[in-house]
A = this chain, B = another copy of it.
Amino acid sequence: MIKCKGFRAAGVASGLKKNGGKDLGILISEVPANVAGVFTRNRVQAAPVILDRERIQSGVGRAIIVNSGNANCCTGAKGLRDAEKMTAGVAARLDIDNDQVFAASTGVIGKPLPIEKIETAIPGLIDAADADGFKDLAEAIMTTDTVPKMVTEEGRLGKDRFTVIGVAKGAGMIRPDMATMLCFVCTDVNASPGVLKTALSAATERSMNRISIDGDTSTNDTVLLMANGLSSAVVRSADEQNIFQKSLDAVLIQLARMLVKDGAGATKLVEIAVQGVATDADADQIADTIAHSSLVKTALFGEDANWGRIIAAAGRSGVAIDPNKIDIRFNQIGIVKNGVGCGRDAEVLATEVLKQAEYTILLDCHQGEGTASVLTCDFSVDYVNINADYRS
């Protein structure tokens, strides 16, 4: 098992989840690490997000504590005190500064956090933490996720090796244009807070902000990156930054794909690619509208080559496009040419593509140089069942 020097992790059951599953996780660095974070842009922000936003200013951290089963959001002054208490419990046990502990929560909004259960579980959680504990951490942050999500990458700066390990949870309530779900990344590379911040923003933009599950945006979304510098690899030059960026991108992009693939009830992983419009922003807006359309997503679930819904979504995206120039391809199969369907034979071939678990839908508008791509999933009967019953 690949290790990330000086980091240990754990996940335990503290009694927050009704099913008795792991619901409390921790990530600890042996030494103070440089830290960067990206948070939800929702105006409604969970207590741990409010806390982390303050603490991230210092750029230094030692540990992240996270619970599932309760979002600690819309919980008022008590919620803020509870988030603080989560971190204080960790700080006391590790004998470190409270301000160097970050918190995250995921689960139902608006229920008081059972903080006593968490406080009781913290000593055992910290004692359980070791270099092989990332899988347990990944399990402890799951909500409607069906599999834990963890990615490891090794990089090299000259002769010096470094490691990046990331864990994430997603499922419902994810959309582009924001930080996204919970994602914790650690690396033993030596990099300044400024370098980390730039690298994390860029990697998030290329990964978590390029995916769509149901168009909703969580109040708790958090991506945290810790770099403790315990490897011999040091990021200084622009070249070294690029190398580190590639490793970080690889981790976040793989995690993002895992999130969409495991989207609540999802059975398909579909890339929506748009090209040939005036600007990248226009392409993005079109791709995003298609990726969020309930009618498109139900057709993907039904393996129905209903391209009319795709072109209709593009048409209502707000971007000024001429529909008579639009071509659509499902993988290599052309199904629309100049805004008109290619006929029954093409539909038969396209339907074969739709039976695959992963494929690309390309919209070429032939009206400019802008391009964009968004990963999305289908909208299944199970999505409704999962989300109708989530709290019960």
Q: Which residues of A contact B (CB under 8 A)?
A: 41-45, 71, 73-76, 108-111, 172-173, 178, 214-219, 292-295, 298-299, 301-302, 304, 306-309, 311-317, 319-324, 336, 338-341, 379-381, 383-385, 387-392
When distances are taken between beta carbons in the complex, the residues of chain B under 8 Å from A392 are 302, 304
Nearest-CB residue, chain B, relative to A308: B109
Q: Using Cβ atoms and an 8 Å threshold, which residues of chain B touch A304?
A: 388-392
Interface residue from B71, B76, B323, B384 paired with A74 (Cβ < 8 Å): B323
A315 touches B42 (CB 8 A): yes
- The 8 A-B pairs with the shortest beta carbon distances in the complex, nearest first, are A109-B308, A302-B388, A44-B315, A298-B387, A217-B316, A43-B315, A110-B341, A42-B315
Bound-state CA distance A76–B75 (Å) is: 56
* Bound: A109/B172 CA distance, A: 30
Docked complex Cα distance between A299 and B380 (Å)? 15
Is B215 a contact of A293 with CB atoms below 8 Å? yes
In the complex, A298 Cα to B294 Cα: how many Å?
A: 12
- Cβ-defined contact, A308 with B384, below 8 A: no
Is B379 within 8 A of A312, CB to CB? no
* Complex CA distance for A282 and B380, rounded to whole angstroms: 32
Determine whether the beta carbon of B294 is less than 8 Å from that of A387: yes
**B contact residues around A108 at 8 Å (CB):** 306, 308
- Cα–Cα distance between A295 and B383 once the two chains are bound (Å): 9
Interchain CA distance A300-B153 in the complex, whole Å: 42
A178 partner residues in chain B, CB cutoff 8 A: 316
Knowing that A44-B312, A108-B308 touch, tell me 8 more A-B residue pairs with CB under 8 angstroms.
A74-B311, A75-B341, A110-B336, A110-B340, A219-B312, A302-B389, A304-B389, A306-B391
